[in-house]
Chains A and B, each alone.
Chain A
Amino acid sequence: EVQLVESGGGLVQPGGSLRLSCAASGFTVSDSYVTWVRQAPGKGLQWVSVIYRDGNTYYTDSVKGRFTISRDDSRNTVYLQMNSLRPEDTAMYYCALQRGGSYSDYWGQGTLVTVSS
């Protein structure tokens, strides 16, 4: 059974950093496409980043240079390192299994990131 479990969210001050984790089971992250999608409180969904099976990574413009997606194949886990956080980064962050770089058919339950002083 495919499962994704996010962790690492919390309250951080503007300019601070957090590292989110997405622990996967039921599939191998090194053979898959794993994406991060966020949702600000009461708002819609925004794609954030994706890591392809070949290791290529992509980011939405607003996080380029600040966020880094990576994976640890030995832990079957994908990470999102978030630096220089801004209040507008406040959101629930979901990781999801993305089919061939397209749609996402399995999602975690999310981890909440709050950027505030």
Chain B
Amino acid sequence: EIVMTQSPATLSVSPGERATLSCRASLSVSSNLAWYQQKPGQAPRLLIYGASTRATGIPPRFSGSGSGTEFTLTVSSLQSEDFAVYFCQQYNDGWTFGQGTKVEIK
């Protein structure tokens, strides 16, 4: 099973600042990686697929990059609605999720 490791576990950021979240795969997953946002009491919401393609309706302040084993999700200027937990998921070989990064208000 491919293990996905996200860092940091918690990221404290002020509104308007940039947030950079990392996701590492134990084996190469090519570009078969997605990012999801989850708020308390809600289902996950797809943000990025194919490592860098924004899903429908996702604002351009969200961007994804990387391939192989190292991936990054960047939120260029955090808005109040962006404080949430973010998960990466590989779908190159089965489907596994990272443990999540919580983005909290600093």
Contacts and interface: CB of A to CB of B under 8 A. Distances in A.
Contact of B43 (A46, A47, A107): A107
A46 B46 contact: no
B43 A103 contact: no
Nearest to B45: A107
Interface string B63-104: 000000000000000000000000101010011111110000
Interface of B: 1, 32, 34, 36, 42-46, 49, 55-56, 87, 89, 91, 94-100
Chain A contact-residue range equals 20 to 34
A93 B49 CA distance: 22
Given A35-B95, A109-B43, A103 B89 contact: yes
Contacts of A107: 43-45
A58 B94 CA distance: 9
A102 B29 CA distance: 12
A41 interface: no
Contacts of B42: 109
A103 B52 CA distance: 13
B94 A105 contact: no
A45 B87 contact: yes
A105 to B, nearest CB: 5
A105 B37 CA distance: 12
A94 interface: yes
A89 to B, nearest CB: 17
A46 B44 contact: no
Contact of A102 (B43, B87, B91): B91
B96 A47 contact: yes
A104 interface: yes
